[in-house]
Structure 1
Amino acid sequence: MQLTIQYAPITELFRRAHAEGRDCLLEHEVYALLGYSGAETPPRHLFLSKEARPVEEACLSLPGDKAVLKIVSPYIVHKTELGGVRIIPKTMDKIRSTVRRMLCEVPERYAEWLERHPQATPPVYRGLSGAALQNAVSRDIRGVLQVRFMPPDSTAFGNELIVGLRRTREFGMVLSAGLGGTDAELYAERFRKGQAVAAAPTALTDGQAFFDLFRATVSYRKLAGLTRGQQRIVTDEQLIECFESFIRLGNHYSPLNDEAPFVIDELEINPFSFSDFLMTPLDGMCRFSLPQARDVERPWKTIHQLLHPRSIGIAGVSARRRNYGRIILENILAAGFSPSAVRLVRPGGGTDESGVACVSSLADLPEPLDLFIVAVGAPQVPGLVDDVLRCNAARSVMLIPGGMGETEASRDEAAALAARMAEAHRRPDGGPVFLGANCMGVISRPGNYDTWFIPAAKLRQDADPHYRRVAIFSQSGAFLLNRYSQTPELRPAYLISLGNQTDLSLGDMMRYFRDSDAVDVIAVYVEGFRNLDGLAFAGAVREAVCAGKQVIFYKAGRTPEGKSATSGHTASLAGDYMVCESCLRQSGAIVARTFDEFQDLILLADAFGRMPIRGTRLGAVSGAGFEAVGMADNIQSEEYAMTLGTLTEETRAAMRELLVAKKLDKLATVANPLDINPGADDETHARMAELMLADDTIDAVAIGLDPLSPVTHSLADSDDPLFRMDAPDGILARLEALRRTAQKPLVAVVDGGALFEPLRRALRERDIPTFPVCDRAVAALSLYMDGRLAAEGLRCSCPWTSRQH
């Protein structure tokens, strides 16, 4: 794209404002910035300083018979409701009188508004009230901006556009665009997800890619004349150029750009109006700051030693009682790790009752440990960390204790500890990496160890020695524990609790598994990212997806779209959760909405990851009418959209023949979804599923198994051979055989109580994802298939993943 941005004069705008003690540009300076940005030309305007008398020749030189007058202050963002925007006849008398009126009335109205909304008071005005506040507001008003009046092509709803950059702590610079105007926040709240606002980190997109995202919004449909009674008022090329300009500005004045003289904190045009195919900014604001030092990069490749250690040391194993350290030791040895490769750090040395050798201190180790586990009280942790660093005692360290950085009182100490870790990373060897603190630990089946401090009697381990090529990591150890306890058939290769990310981060772990040959599915539970680590995480997700891996993602702490705890204006339209979710979806992750869905998607990804996904046409079959209808009712949502396959005539004929043979033709009608009546036996269920799987109009099949029916084999313990699920002609054997030959996803529903949990578990163990209710099954399958297809689109190329490095 032929787009030239003049960075030098833009930087000079920031430099002059900074020299005046400002961290923001005034509106006419924002227009100057736009003029240098290479995109749309800003409207002609004239700054009228409050210290100078308006000059008639200059004021009347602007085109048109009307003038727009706007108050200019570094602190007044919303001008219209304060009387800070006036459209008047362009005569000299009217201009002078209106300027005087605005300079008088706006400080009064803004001071009154601030006293009604103290939470929105700028820091410079806090503690002021009454006349003192009004005088301070008046002092900061620089004058009035006269802007050429340009009548819009349309005054209908939705014909204004907001475009904004926002610096975020987790994802760096984020571009957002959507329905503009004074009701922009309302649109963002009320419209369905993704319809009002599009958002993406600038480091992971370009003008064309962002435009493709923007096309899904109501805003684009209005601007492009795709709604009834509307005409196109802007070209696609104009929008792409505008987005590309903002993206380049975002990447240049970015906290990720080590050469950036300033960082844009917010840059917003709200709105762009449209007149004769010109994009005209009607209001603009820009805040900026000086660059800050970035975190030292951690040697994340050392995670390999953490997950596959040749030697393990433990501090905190009591010689007298069964404490957390003792349980960790028991679990490590029970997982198969060699006792001869374990050392306990305990005063007095000797040999533990388990037969494991002890050393008095880290200095007594003959060579550095691959993994050192710290299971002592939080007050002892800083000293042990210092010992590790001083003695070069370990390549990786696991900090189990909680209470570090979790409370206000401990944050300073945790920050000091993190600083010492970061300083060690400046060493030529990168120093050790630290997992935690407040970390439950790791289960690494390839590494033959388990550091979870859960007694074996309380966590049933799956007897199958084989594990899935799945890694699950989480900030919450309890989340991992509960998911695994409920669904031990997940059998992941790795279960990793990161704790509070004192050192190793979510992005570090994603980078490691992006490159790992041991996993195909990466599942992550996130509560929050470190500074800029969300961007590093998203980039690694995209690279992993492009390499053929599947990523399942759950983000805790959802907030309503369009809301921000710290900002009341429209630059915050893309709320924190919305930005995170949008970013990860664009990077190719499949985003779970519930904890159950997180588990379900992992099983689906592992079961079907090697299958091609050809489309989103579902085949649904059940002996229960409500279940067939329930499947059809759940094929669409805000996150996905499936359809029901039509079935070929050959398939329909075979189904009718089967119904006749089973004497069900008077009770069931061939359709999709197919209700085959509670009298349908296991053979009928399996054969109908087989016919659907073979049909070219079907891309996946969901089958309800009706476990309560008198003609199905659905019980694990039964004296009646008609009900035993291990019957050679029962549904379990039939679906297992069908699963071995199927080239399309097949999921089952066993809707019934605890009596039928053994059947559900047995089906899952045979790689048939099985659900207790039909709506959960179809929703998870639909979300998975939609995500897989989106990921396939990314794999053609991954051009943006290198920008964050």
Structure 2
Amino acid sequence: MFIENEISFKAISDLFCNADNEGRDYLYEYEVYNLLANSGAETPPAANLLPRGARFSDEELISIPGEKTVLKIVSPTIIHKTEVGGVRIVKKEPSKIRSAVRGMMYEVPENYAAYIERNPDHSPKEYKGLHGEALVKAISRDLKGVLQVQFMPPDSDSFGNELIVGLRRTREFGTIISAGLGGTDTELYAERFRKGQAIVAASVYMVDGQSFFQLFKNTISYKKLAGLTRGQRRIVTDEQLIECFDSFIEMGKYFSPSDKDSGFVIDELEINPFAFTEYLMVPLDGMCRFSKTGQKPQGRPVQKIHNLLHPKKIGIIGVSSTRRNFGRIILDNVLAEGFSKEDVVIISEGRDTVDGVRCVPNLDSLNHKLDLFVVAIAAQHVPDLVDQIIKLDSAKSVMLIPGGMGETEESKERAEQIINTINEKHAEEDGGPVFIGANCMGVVSRPGGYDTWFIPEEKLPKNRNAGHQRAALISQSGAFMVFRTSQCPELNPAYMISMGNQTDLTLGDMVHYFKNSPEVDVIAVYAEGFNDLDGLEFCRAVRQAVMNGKEVVFYKAGRTPEGKSATSGHTASLAGDYMVCESCVQQAGAIVARTFQEFQDLFMLAEKLSGKTICGDRLAAVSGAGFEAVGMADSIQSDDYDIELAKFSDDSIAAIDEILISQKLSTLVTIQNPLDLTPGSNDMVHAKMAGILVKDPAVDSIVIGLDPLSPSMHTLADSSIPAFSMDDENSLGNQLIKIVENSDKPLLAVVDGGRLYAPLRDMLLANGVPVFPVCDRAVAAIALYSKARMHAEVIRLTHGCD
């Protein structure tokens, strides 16, 4: 771990302070080199600032080591200096240096002005509307001089031998560190190379230098720098890279938006590139922008989430007595879940009861404080109602069902009014109520005994007698959650929570609550966007949940510009940079899904396998059809995962051979992985194979195809033919259930067939056996799940003593 006292935070703060006193929110390049010199990492090259108009002696101009010297224009507006002639390498002779400096002071403004005229969209705001000589003069006025830098020729100028390292402040995740292929084509590399090959990024709070280095080792940049490609030699040590990463991470944590004591925040610090000379990391260009720390966000009384999820008293406003509006459907669902009518009250004038539930005309008439108040009235009436709730202290938690509060430009003012009112109350000692929503589908809390979804039961039937899973599904989109529930009723988590617009309670708040919940082992989250710095809080909560032995499954919408636009329009949340989000959440310990289908699959696996042991990534694949064997083998690798086919132990090979001989299958089946059993293999053969492989120490997980259409298999429900009946006690389904019950090793079944085989799938799922309709989905899911589980175990071992 990097030693903090090697970094002079005071000296770096002084750099920011001096620049701030001059009205700047950025550092000049020579000041960036001073920052690096105080960072405890590599020593930057020697440099002299040659201020505009100043005179220098010959001795001063040749004081920098080397036979050559680098001259760089110093300007607050010129970022890409090389393209406008702002970088020159000359002999270290006074006359040569003076000549080059004079030329640059005239030529650079002309070149930059020409560039802006050709590319007006790239014009800095300072030069908007300027043209011709006026533009040249404005650029010239901003030139501060020329920076003379020690020339340190790189060991190699071949592709991949430059490194970019940077810090960047993000709205959702605070400060992140990134590193990868450096040079002028960095953005092109990031766009063209496979994910994680050109650039890697992580939250400075989720990694240290060593763990970030492990991420970086997967990049092309590392392979080139470490001499791992043909014709290359190592030009930097691993220890140097770790030291550099540690230094950046510690600076990012200290000058962070979540640290209000530092006085300043690094908005962006980038060295692009580091080059390498005789095992020295040499920064060739650097930039830094900073800002002052802001006010600390107002805290929320999140302990009242317990009242929201486990209410004793519920109130509802917006219930119609004449039609099934949203409020009436909510009332029906609350009562259908078994919540006592005596503990529900309706706010409605002119009525004594609705369906046997007491009514009161207004909040003033309540004779007790509500644990949960469900608001299902029109959006325009919500701000006044929120004022009332807070003024009268009517409830500990409030559920805002209506939309129209922040999803569109027209409704933003209404949303801001509500947020300001809530935050003012949170600043007081008790903190007032917590609010979930707006634009909220509602909450289903099986432990809390209620359901406030406004979907009629005729549209979404519920099996209230089925035991719920020890899981929570938290979704920013209520519709996403409802559709998943309709498609996959077997998931059936204990809690299903629609967050809506996160007007008050956030995704981070909810995961913080469930990280310690005795009711939940698995937390599944669908996110469209995070509030300011809530991505960081979310990651912290995920990390703590993982440390507590829980599993977190995550899907983030808005991975493309079009996707970001769609999520923003729907939930009034700004979707952040997907690569940063994915990396931060993965480093926190979550299992990240790439598609909706994958989210469902991983959620199901987490529910079924959270109690199983994941020892590694060696897969045994068993199929009943050739295409399935090929499909499994083809699915063991992708950009996001890889899993290896296990090499069966000698004992397993002998046991498999014995069964094949006894069943006269030895001439038809080759003992290999995937193990392709013929359609002539019956239930007993499949079950025996599964039983052998779960005991094989060389196998970590098993995917087995059940070949449901084979005439040799018992895979049909209510069949008039006993040989096909899945109810037979020796059917493969019943045998697999017993194997899974008695094994600590993951076993996944594949039932590749139509609706006729839905009862078999349902039976297996109901008895703890994960089931997939196609083999490639099963292999991808167990590969991603195993990788994430092993990473979570590393986190627990690494951070267990923190």
TM-score bracket for this pair, using the shorter chain length:
over 0.9
Matched ranges for 1:238-387 at <5 A: 238-352=240-354, 354-387=355-388
Out of 49, 60, 73, the residue aligned to residue 58 of structure 1 is: 60
Q: Counterpart in 1 of 2:568?
A: none
Q: How far is the alpha carbon of 1:264 from its aligned partner? A: 1.1
Q: Structure 2 CA distance, aligned partners of 1:110 and 1:724? A: 80
Q: Structure 1 CA distance, aligned partners of 2:533 and 2:681? A: 56
* Secondary structure of the structure 2 residue equivalent to 1:367: coil
Q: Counterpart in 2 of 1:571?
A: none
How big is each residue's C-alpha offset from its partner over 1:781-803, in whole Å with a ceiling of 9 and x where there is no partner? 111111111111111143798xx
Q: How far is the alpha carbon of 1:716 from its aligned partner? A: 2.6
Q: How far is the alpha carbon of 1:526 from its aligned partner? A: 0.8
The answer to whether structure 1 residue 736 and structure 2 residue 775 are counterparts is no
Q: Structure 2 CA distance, aligned partners of 1:349 and 1:676? A: 70
Matched ranges for 1:505-520 at <5 A: 505-520=506-521
Q: Counterpart in 1 of 2:119?
A: 117
Q: Structure 1 CA distance, aligned partners of 2:184 and 2:108? A: 18
Q: Counterpart in 2 of 1:568?
A: none
Q: Counterpart in 1 of 2:394?
A: 393
How big is each residue's C-alpha offset from its partner over 1:341-366, in whole Å with a ceiling of 9 and x where there is no partner? 000011235111x1000111111111
> Counterpart of 2:764 in structure 1: which amino acid?
L
Q: Structure 1 CA distance, aligned partners of 2:337 and 2:122? A: 56
Q: Structure 2 CA distance, aligned partners of 1:116 and 1:714? A: 70
Q: Counterpart in 1 of 2:662?
A: 661
Q: Structure 2 CA distance, aligned partners of 1:783 and 1:83? A: 49
Matched ranges for 1:458-469 at <5 A: 458-469=459-470
Q: Counterpart in 1 of 2:571?
A: none
Q: Structure 2 CA distance, aligned partners of 1:209 and 1:777? A: 30
Q: Structure 1 CA distance, aligned partners of 2:438 and 2:124? A: 37
Q: How far is the alpha carbon of 1:190 from its aligned partner? A: 2.6
Q: Counterpart in 2 of 1:567?
A: none
How big is each residue's C-alpha offset from its partner over 1:488-526, in whole Å with a ceiling of 9 and x where there is no partner? 010100000000100000000010000111100000011
* Secondary structure of the structure 2 residue equivalent to 1:722: helix
Q: Counterpart in 2 of 1:788?
A: 789
How big is each residue's C-alpha offset from its partner over 1:517-550, in whole Å with a ceiling of 9 and x where there is no partner? 1100000011111111111110111111011001
The answer to whether structure 1 residue 703 and structure 2 residue 704 are counterparts is yes
CA gap 1:497/1:800 in 2 versus in 1, 3 angstroms:
farther
Q: Structure 1 CA distance, aligned partners of 2:782 and 2:753? A: 20
Matched ranges for 1:436-451 at <5 A: 436-451=437-452
Q: Structure 1 CA distance, aligned partners of 2:759 and 2:133? A: 75
Q: Counterpart in 1 of 2:623?
A: 622
Q: Counterpart in 1 of 2:158?
A: 156
Deviates most, 526-535 or 132-141:
132-141
Q: Structure 1 CA distance, aligned partners of 2:640 and 2:363? A: 52
Q: Counterpart in 2 of 1:70?
A: 72
Contact 2:207 2:587 in 1 (8 A): no
* Secondary structure of the structure 2 residue equivalent to 1:213: helix
Q: Structure 2 CA distance, aligned partners of 1:21 and 1:718? A: 83
Deviates most, 93-102 or 545-554:
93-102
Q: Which runs of 5+ in 2 are unaligned?
A: 566-575
CA gap 1:533/1:96 in 2 versus in 1, 3 angstroms:
same
How big is each residue's C-alpha offset from its partner over 1:94-116, in whole Å with a ceiling of 9 and x where there is no partner? 22222222222222222233344
> Counterpart of 2:167 in structure 1: which amino acid?
L
Q: How far is the alpha carbon of 1:717 from its aligned partner? A: 4.3
Contact 1:308 1:446 in 2 (8 A): yes
Q: Counterpart in 2 of 1:554?
A: 555
If asked which structure has higher relative contact order (CA below 8 Å, sep 6+), I would say: 1
Contact 1:204 1:800 in 2 (8 A): no
CA gap 1:406/1:426 in 2 versus in 1, 3 angstroms:
same
Matched ranges for 1:108-147 at <5 A: 108-147=110-149
Q: How far is the alpha carbon of 1:671 from its aligned partner? A: 1.2
Q: Structure 2 CA distance, aligned partners of 1:799 and 1:164? A: 29
Deviates most, 687-696 or 710-719:
710-719
Q: Counterpart in 2 of 1:431?
A: 432
Q: How far is the alpha carbon of 1:651 from its aligned partner? A: 1.6
Contact 1:543 1:798 in 2 (8 A): no
Give the percent of matched residue pairs that are identical in Structure 1 and Structure 2: 59
Q: Counterpart in 1 of 2:457?
A: 456
How big is each residue's C-alpha offset from its partner over 1:306-354, in whole Å with a ceiling of 9 and x where there is no partner? 00000100010012211000000000000111110000011235111x1
How big is each residue's C-alpha offset from its partner over 1:424-483, in whole Å with a ceiling of 9 and x where there is no partner? 111211211000000001000001111110000111213543111000101000110111
Q: Structure 2 CA distance, aligned partners of 1:428 and 1:376? A: 29
Matched ranges for 1:495-644 at <5 A: 495-559=496-560, 576-644=577-645
Deviates most, 404-413 or 226-235:
226-235
* Secondary structure of the structure 2 residue equivalent to 1:457: coil
Deviates most, 410-419 or 512-521:
410-419
Q: Structure 2 CA distance, aligned partners of 1:118 and 1:300? A: 49
Contact 1:621 1:704 in 2 (8 A): yes
Q: Structure 1 CA distance, aligned partners of 2:723 and 2:620? A: 28
Contact 2:316 2:376 in 1 (8 A): yes
* Secondary structure of the structure 2 residue equivalent to 1:421: helix
Contact 1:268 1:285 in 2 (8 A): yes
Q: How far is the alpha carbon of 1:54 from its aligned partner? A: 4.6
Q: Counterpart in 2 of 1:10?
A: 12
> Counterpart of 1:223 in structure 2: which amino acid?
L
Q: Counterpart in 1 of 2:777?
A: 776
Q: Counterpart in 2 of 1:570?
A: none
Q: How far is the alpha carbon of 1:249 from its aligned partner? A: 1.6
Q: Structure 1 CA distance, aligned partners of 2:246 and 2:747? A: 43
Q: Structure 2 CA distance, aligned partners of 1:393 and 1:416? A: 19
Q: Structure 2 CA distance, aligned partners of 1:421 and 1:361? A: 20
> Counterpart of 1:59 in structure 2: which amino acid?
L
Q: How far is the alpha carbon of 1:164 from its aligned partner? A: 0.5
> Counterpart of 1:620 in structure 2: which amino acid?
A
How big is each residue's C-alpha offset from its partner over 1:620-670, in whole Å with a ceiling of 9 and x where there is no partner? 111100101111111122222211111122222222222222232222111
How big is each residue's C-alpha offset from its partner over 1:44-99, in whole Å with a ceiling of 9 and x where there is no partner? 11112222245432112212121111111112111112221111222223222222
Deviates most, 737-746 or 475-484:
737-746
> Counterpart of 2:746 in structure 1: which amino acid?
P
Contact 1:440 1:477 in 2 (8 A): yes
Q: Structure 2 CA distance, aligned partners of 1:122 and 1:438? A: 39
Contact 1:270 1:281 in 2 (8 A): yes
Out of 86, 89, 113, the residue aligned to residue 88 of structure 2 is: 86
Q: Structure 1 CA distance, aligned partners of 2:447 and 2:128? A: 58
Q: Structure 1 CA distance, aligned partners of 2:542 and 2:119? A: 42
* Secondary structure of the structure 2 residue equivalent to 1:490: coil
Contact 1:164 1:175 in 2 (8 A): yes
Q: Counterpart in 2 of 1:680?
A: 681
Q: Counterpart in 1 of 2:572?
A: none
Q: Counterpart in 2 of 1:107?
A: 109
Deviates most, 591-600 or 324-333:
591-600
Q: Structure 2 CA distance, aligned partners of 1:660 and 1:204? A: 54
Q: Structure 2 CA distance, aligned partners of 1:255 and 1:694? A: 51
CA gap 1:498/1:115 in 2 versus in 1, 3 angstroms:
farther
* Secondary structure of the structure 2 residue equivalent to 1:529: coil
How big is each residue's C-alpha offset from its partner over 1:379-434, in whole Å with a ceiling of 9 and x where there is no partner? 01111111110000000000000110001111122112111111111121121100
Contact 2:443 2:498 in 1 (8 A): yes
Deviates most, 280-289 or 681-690:
681-690
| Cα RMSD after superposing both structures | 1.9
* Secondary structure of the structure 2 residue equivalent to 1:232: coil
CA gap 1:757/1:122 in 2 versus in 1, 3 angstroms:
farther
Contact 2:305 2:434 in 1 (8 A): yes
Q: Structure 2 CA distance, aligned partners of 1:758 and 1:76? A: 68
Contact 1:640 1:782 in 2 (8 A): yes
Q: Structure 2 CA distance, aligned partners of 1:649 and 1:246? A: 50
Q: Structure 2 CA distance, aligned partners of 1:118 and 1:490? A: 54
> Counterpart of 1:775 in structure 2: which amino acid?
D
Q: How far is the alpha carbon of 1:754 from its aligned partner? A: 2.4
Deviates most, 772-781 or 660-669:
660-669
* Secondary structure of the structure 2 residue equivalent to 1:135: helix
